[in-house]
Amino acid sequence: MTTGSVLAFDLLAAILAAAGWLGAGATAVAGPRRVAMAVGAAALAATLARAATTILLARAGWWFAAEKVVIAGPLMLAAVLVAGPRLLRPAPVPFLFAGYALTAGLLVTVLHGYPVSAGAGLLAVAGVAGATALTWRFLGSGPVPRTAVVVAVAALVAGIGAAATAGAVPGVPHAHQHRDVLTVGEPAKRFTLTAGTAVVPAGDRDVAAWAFNGQVPGPQLTATVGDVLEVTLRNRDIGRGVTLHWHGYDVPNSQDGVPGVTQDVVLPGREFVYRFRADRAGTYWYHTHAASDVGVRMGLYGVLVIHPKPATGVDVTVPVHTLAGVPLPAPAVQPVAAGDPVRLRLINTDNTTHRYALAGTPFRVVAIDGSDLRGPAPLSETAVLIPAGGRYDLAFTAPDTPVALDVDGRVVWSSGPVSAATGGWPVLDPLTYGTAEPPPWSRYDREFTLVLDRGVDLRGLLPRYAHTVNGAADPDIPSQVVRFGEIVELRIVNRSLVVHPWHLHGHHVLVLSRDGRPATGGPLWLDSFDVRPGEVWEVAFRADNPGMWANHCHNLPHADAGMTLHLIYG
Ligand code: C2O
Ligand code: CU
């Protein structure tokens, strides 16, 4: 069983146990004795199941189990000790006590999570003691025991105190405006992108969109290694403002396009000129980073391809996007001559993973996220999963029969009709693909762990159920500070129930391991990778691009709901 499924089972057991004890208490008040006994027994079984999932999660990593062991565990133990002996003689107060204890343990996991805090533990105890005292008052025999009241009041006071003092987390250091004039040489390639509202065709209808130069995706920007690119961004009428972020292209910080961090947002009627040297061949994309969730979804994105010196063969870009519920691009049929080298550049500009399958020919995955792979072997009848923001380049020599590429079962590009059922194909694991090479570093100067979760964020104007990193949400997640030249190890742990496609700006990370198993394929340099529920990724990078960089989940609604932090050079 994967850690992700244990996380799901744990939640289920916690809900059943809490509901079970509360139900047993209610039936002990009003229902038949046998029913109360049966419900109590089921609640006990669910409680033991949660104890088991807690142990399994602790073995998978402390990040997954900390609050379950430290806070929910003692509460579960107390519940079993108090309610267990009453299973044959059902009584409301012990069963309801167990119900409160299990509910408190469940809430600590769902609302608070990692890391454990004294405040959360004390508030849980206060809640259980207070609810038990009240229950006793109405259902118990004799006066409310002093201890319950004293524990409730003391824990409540201490808990509020602890929670309030824990609020002193450093916020994002004040945005730094890099205004350095870039001396990159005479631009060889000039483009102008004008952002504006537009009505564009999608599938067989017209939809309202936000577009660059009136089209979705925006114009494809193409350059050759060595070119200097100059891109003028204008905003016609996007009220929330726009910027350009070169996703996967490690530009100097001042050109990175993150509003409030590397530049001011470009408001209607304004412009901003980006300039950088194209020194790295590969497949990239650009998108607005202002109100990025809605901006990208509405269509403010496009493709950036940097070709190596002599570009050869058939070169096709397939930027996948969902616009107003319509999957893009529209299917294209492009005949290719047998023997022609073909390169398909697959780009996922959506918020969630897509599955791509190429039928009718063996192929190689020659690059991921703009980095060539080492020794990629031919694959056939194998699908690839591309995370949000990620790119895979597939290469093959055109056979004399047609080939077809589908995305989630929908053909998007083909050279003729192909009938193939690709749905059952195995999926490539890039961590075992290609030929290995010893890692370039043997020691790390710095190490960071990011534990991804959900939790209640009370720091803003309104409380929200945020996507959190180490228990905090943007802008309260402490920045990671590195020094130029350091080798930095980053561990990313997903203890939530959803996938988080991780994306660090300005750097490519080398994948070291996933779930403790080292990557055994060719060196994998990524800028976007899916950390699935229960997974632990270890990656590393060289701090060689000074500035202040966004580091966030590329499921952009998550980034917006708290899952964004910053890497800064100190
Ligand atoms: Cu493609 Cu910060 O994003
Ligand atoms: Cu996410």
Q: Which ligand 1 atom is nearest residue 247's CA?
A: 1
Q: Residue 505 C-alpha to ligand 1 middle, in angstroms?
A: 7
The amino acid present at 534, given as its one-letter code, is G
Label residue 9 by pLDDT band (50, 70, 90). very high
pLDDT 10s digits, 21-32: 999 999 999 889
Name the band, by pLDDT with cuts 50, 70 and 90, for residue 183: low
Are the C-beta atoms of residues 247 and 389 closer than 8 Å to each other? Answer: yes
By percentage, how much of the chain surpasses pLDDT 90?
Answer: 88
Let me know: does 335 contact 397? Beta carbons within 8 Å: no
Question: Which residues fall within 8 angstroms of residue 569, CB to CB, at 6 or more apart?
Answer: 481, 482, 483, 484, 543, 546, 547, 548
Q: Is the pLDDT of residue 182 over 80?
A: no
pLDDT tens for residues 473-525?
999 999 999 999 999 999 999 999 999 999 999 999 999 999 999 999 999 99
CA nearest neighbour of 373 among 438, 433, 308? 433
Q: What is the 560 CA–ligand 1 centroid distance (Å)?
A: 12
Q: How far, in whole angstroms, is CA 38 from its chain's centroid? A: 42
Q: Which residue has the tokens 């063969």?
A: 313
Query: From atom 3 of ligand 1, which residue's Cα is the shortest distance away?
Result: 247
The pLDDT of 516-535, averaged and rounded, is 98
Per-residue exposure over 507-530, b if at least 16 CB sit within 10 Å of its own CB, e if not: bbbbbbebeeeebebbbbbbbbbb
Counting from 1 in the atom list of ligand 1, the atom nearest the Cα of 550 is: 2
Mean of pLDDT values over 393-407: 97
- 133-152 pLDDT, tens digit each: 999 999 887 888 888 889 88
Q: How far is the CA of 454 from the centre of ligand 2 (A)?
A: 10
Q: Which of 226, 269, 274, 270 is nearest to 246 (CA)?
A: 274
Q: 222, 211 in Cβ contact below 8 A? A: no
Which pLDDT belongs to residue 317? 98
Structure token digits, residue 198 = 């537009």
Q: Sorting pLDDT into bands at 50, 70 and 90, what band is 113?
A: very high
* Alpha-carbon span 359 to 417, nearest angstrom: 10
Whether the pLDDT of residue 164 is over 90: the answer is: no
Which pLDDT score is estimated for 167?
54
Q: Which of 327-336, 360-369, 454-463 has the lowest mean pLDDT?
A: 454-463
Over 50: is that where the pLDDT of 175 sits? no
Atom of ligand 1 nearest to the CA of 389: 1
Contact status, residue 97 vs residue 529, Cβ threshold 8 Å: no
Task: Pick the closest to residue 158 from 192, 196, 118 (CA basis).
Answer: 118
Tens digit of each residue's pLDDT (9 = 90 or more) over 254-301: 999 999 999 999 999 999 999 999 999 999 999 999 999 999 999 999
* pTM for the model: 0.94
Q: What is the pLDDT of residue 176?
A: 46
Question: Which amino acid is located at 411 in the chain?
Answer: V
What are φ and ψ of residue 133, in 5° steps?
A: -60, -45
Minimum CA distance residue for ligand 1 atom 1 = 247
Looking at the predicted structure, is the pLDDT value of residue 319 above 50? yes
Counting ligands in written order, the one closest to the CA of 293 is 1
**How many Å apart are CA 452 and CA 39, to the nearest integer?**
35
pLDDT at 106 over 70: yes
CA-nearest of 298, 276, 191 to 234 is 191
What is the mean predicted confidence (pLDDT) over 50-69? Answer: 97
To the nearest 10°, report the CA torsion of 87, 93, 99, 105. -110
Q: Does the structure show a pLDDT above 80 at 45?
A: yes
Judged by DSSP in three states, 529 sits in: strand
Task: Extract the tokens encoding 490.
Answer: 């980053």
pLDDT recorded at residue 31: 85
- Per-residue pLDDT, 174: 46
pLDDT score, position 144 = 85
What is the pLDDT, as a whole number, of residue 461? 82
d(CA 122, CA 528): 39
Average pLDDT value for residue range 396-413:
97
DSSP string, 52-111: HHHHHHHHH-HHHHHHIIIIIHHHHHHHHHHHGGGSSS--HHHHHHHHHHHHHHHHIIII
Distance 88 CA to ligand 2 centre (A): 47
Report phi then psi at 140, rounded to 5: -80, 175
With 90 as the cut, is the pLDDT of residue 544 above it? yes
What separation in Å is there between the alpha carbon of 308 and the centre of ligand 1? 24
Angle of helix 146-165 relative to helix 118-139, nearest 10 degrees, comes to 150
The count of other CB atoms within 10 Å of the CB of residue 443 is 6
The ligand placed nearest to the CA atom of residue 559 is 2
Residue 234 near residue 271 (C-beta atoms within 8 A): yes
Closest alpha carbon to 382 in 370, 394, 390 = 394
Are 224 and 278 in contact by the 8 Å Cβ rule? The answer is yes
The 10 Å Cβ neighbour count of residue 161 is 13
Strand, helix or coil at 204? Answer: coil
Answer yes or no: is pLDDT of 561 > 80.
Answer: yes
pLDDT (average), residues 377-389: 98
Mean pLDDT for the stretch of residues 191-218? 97
- Report the distance separating Cα 99 and Cα 107, nearest Å: 12
Residue 268 carries which side chain, given as an amino acid letter? P
